[in-house]
């Protein structure tokens, strides 16, 4: 049973650049959520995708955008990177949007210089 996978594992960018992170959900799951985890903090919800649409969004600026593909995989895009965007980005998948347990991937560590 394939779990949630994310790529790349690590990424280094400079301020102002753009980045794309990728996520494949756990087998059988159709909903993907993205979280940002700054050092020493708990994860913060960015947004959730279901049926290829953004269904709910956390308190993040429009620089953060996403996409979900027909195979349920998802991308997180961040434009005009700031130093404060340095964090671990976690993808979580679930079946549906009715409060089911989410399973997380290993994350992508982004460092913005």
Residues forming the site for other proteins (CB under 8 A): 31, 33, 35, 40-45, 48, 55-56, 58, 88, 90, 92, 94, 97-107, 109
> Least CB distance from residue 94 to other proteins, whole Å?
5
Q: How far is the CB of 95 from other proteins (least distance, A)?
A: 10
Q: Which is nearer to other proteins, 45 or 73 (CB)?
A: 45
**Taking the complex as a whole, how short is the minimal distance between the CB of residue 38 and other proteins, in angstroms?**
11
Both tokens of residue 32? 């993907």
CA 22 to chain centroid:
7
Q: How many residues does the chain have?
A: 113
Name the 3-class secondary structure at 84.
helix
SS3 call for 40: coil
């Amino acid at each position: 049973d394939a779990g949630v996978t994310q790529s790349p594992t690590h990424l280094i960018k400079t301020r102002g650049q753009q980045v794309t992170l990728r996520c494949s959900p756990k087998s059988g799951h159709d909903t993907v959520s993205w979280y940002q985890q700054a050092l020493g903090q708990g994860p913060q919800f960015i947004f959730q995708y279901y049926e290829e649409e953004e269904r709910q969004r956390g308190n993040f600026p429009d620089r953060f955008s996403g996409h979900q593909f027909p195979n349920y995989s998802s991308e997180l895009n961040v434009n005009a990177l700031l130093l404060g965007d340095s964090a671990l980005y976690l993808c979580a998948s679930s079946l549906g949007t009715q409060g089911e347990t989410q399973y997380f991937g290993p994350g992508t560590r982004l460092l913005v210089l």
